[in-house]
Each structure stands twice: as C-alpha cells, then as structure tokens.
Amino acid sequence: MAELQTLAGKLKCSLLHRGTLPLAILILVFFCYGFLSSSRQTLGDLEAEPSVAVGKLDRWQVVTLSRMVYPQPKVLSPVRKDVLVVTPWLAPIVWEGTFNIDILNEQFRLQNTTIGLTVFAIKKYVVFLKLFLETAEQHFMVGHQVTYYVFTDRPADVPQVPLGAGRRLVVLTVHSHTRWQDVSMHRMDMISRFSEQRFLREVDYLVCTDVDMKFRDHVGVEILASLFGTLHPSFYQSSREAFTYERRPQSQAYIARGEGDFYYLGGFFGGSVAEVLRLTKACHEAMVADKANGIEAVWHDESHLNKYLLYHKPTKVLSPEYLWDQQLLGWPAVMKKLRFVAVPKNHQAIRNP
C-alpha cells in the first residue's frame, strides 16, 4: 500500500506539470482496480484453505432447520397459575405445561448434545438396574445421545438391556462399603473423580440419579441447565423451618434457621459436567472435613447438597414430578405427570450385604 501511495504521488506531480490531469485519473483508476483484484484473489485463496473456524461454520451450515409450528406464547396468559414457575433468582421451575419439548429438542439437537446418566448399583441394589434401564430407554432423553454410567461392585450382575441408536452403557467397577450411609456419601467422590478422568471428555451434561427408581413418563432436555436440583417430594409445600437441614454448627453442611430456599433431594441432580464436578468435589471435601471432626451430617450427602445449592444457586429447579413416591404420597392434583417414581422395596433387606 505504501508503494501504491508513492507511485500515485509521483504520477500526480508529473502529470499536473504537463496539464494532463484527466489522463492521470484514468491511470490511477486502472492501477487501483488491478491492485484490488489481486487482493481479492489472494483473500479467495486463503479462504480456500481449510481452517478450524471454517470447519465450525461448515458444521452448522449443514443443519437443516425444519419449520416450527406451535401456539404463540401469550405474555398475559401464564400457562400455570397454581404453582411457582420461577425462583427469586430467575431460575425456571420445571412443571408440566411450562415448556414446549419440540422447541427444546430442536435447540439441543442443533448443539449435538450428549448426556451422561450416572447411577450406583451397589450390593443388592443391582437388582433394580434392569427396570431402571428398560424404562430409561422408553422415557429418558429419547432421540438424544446418552451414555449410562453404571457404578457397581458387581459388574457380572449388570443386565444386558437392548439400547437404542446413539445410546451406550459403561460399567464402572467401584468398591463397596459396609454401611449404606457410606455407600451414599461415597457417590460424590466417585462422580467427582470420574468427571475429571473421563466425563469431561465424553458428555456435555450429567444427570445423577438413584437406581431404585423407574421412569414412568417423559424426562428430556427440558431438565438440562448449567446446574439443576430437584424439589424433595416431602417438602415442596413446607416452610423452611420444617426442612431437615443439618442444624449443628459443627458440620460443614450447617444451615442456620431462617435460611434456605427449597429442600432438594439427593437422588436427582445434575448440570454441565464442569458444574457437577464443582458440586461433587465440594460436597466430598466437606464430608471429609466432617469425618475428621467426628461428625456426620443428618442426611449425609443430601445435607451437603442442600448446603451447596443454597450458596451456589441452581440455574434450573425441577418440580417433584421428577422424583415422586406414589405409594407414600398418592397423586395430588398439582402433579400433572409423575415422571420418575420410586419402586416399592424392602430397604432393610436390600441394605444388608
């Protein structure tokens, strides 16, 4: 460009002396056209070279968007008037009727989302795996890529369940513990370790659940968020004074009276792998600190989960539709659907080795 300016200056001075300004303009226009054409050709050559940026654009360009036809949302007509649908920190609370799954499915498919589902089948709890996996194939993240991560001390007893396209099962062998409380608390450590070792590379989101359950209705991408917790079915109507938080200041799970948003259950939480890693690591470290001080939180890992979610607000909250016990709680009218439900069982018999 400097050479172009110098040459243009020389031509201008020379031609002005000879009174041939129109000719000078014509020459400059011709010269600039040639220069710009050459520049465009060079840029075109560069664009023809493969690059990461272009590769990413190409990946999005091949997506064919279908026409989306659905009822228009009405600003002055809330879809649910009987329940709270947003928290004070503006996180949605997911109830039936508050979302359009077709819109959500389209958005998450555009992102090529992969979901990991962690479940612990320790000791005799392995007997629940078959029903858990069979019903998950019917109702959990249908149409999306799913990896089932089964933590167990009895890998030979993991049942062979037919899986749909884009879905796989990974068995992760772990040690058992004598007390069921230790088994429960050990989950946070295992999820944390495997998140660092492999989950970060393999999936986008993690959903962490109990195994002694079955999927009864749709559970899909409407639950996915950076960090989500689920309202405990026994406390979703209760005041915070009735919540069974850890009330002893000596515990890392301590929550003072007068504090608290909701009571979250330990059997259904998740989020992005990075956020689940932070949560599980923090809860495990808090339990280690409690053990060193000779104290155990009243509801074990669930107590520590509630403490974490109090100070690290979830970006989405799931209603009790997403974990319910119909045998104990019936089916109240506010529950339009029961999605993930407890399986009747004899806990004492199962918890024995």
8 A C-beta contact, residue 195 and residue 273: yes
Nearest to 22 by CA among 33, 11, 6, 10: 11
Reduced DSSP (H G I as helix, E B as strand, rest coil) percent helix, strand, coil of the chain, to 5: 45, 15, 40
Nearest to 222 by CA among 87, 92, 118, 135: 92
Residues with catalytic roles = 302
8 A C-beta contact, residue 254 and residue 307: yes
- State the Cα angle at 261 between 259 and 264, rounded to 5°: 115
Virtual CA dihedral for 228, 229, 233, 234, nearest 10 degrees? -160
Question: DSSP assignment of 56-116, as one string?
Answer: HHHHHHTPPPPPP--PPP-TTS-S-SSS--B-TTS-BEE-TTS--HHHHHHHHHHTT-EEE
The tokens describing 333, both together, are 């009218």
Please give the Cα distance from 41 to 44 (Å, whole number).
5
Strands (DSSP E) found in the chain: 93-94, 114-121, 145-152, 167-173, 205-209, 213-215, 227-230, 268-272, 316-318, 340-342
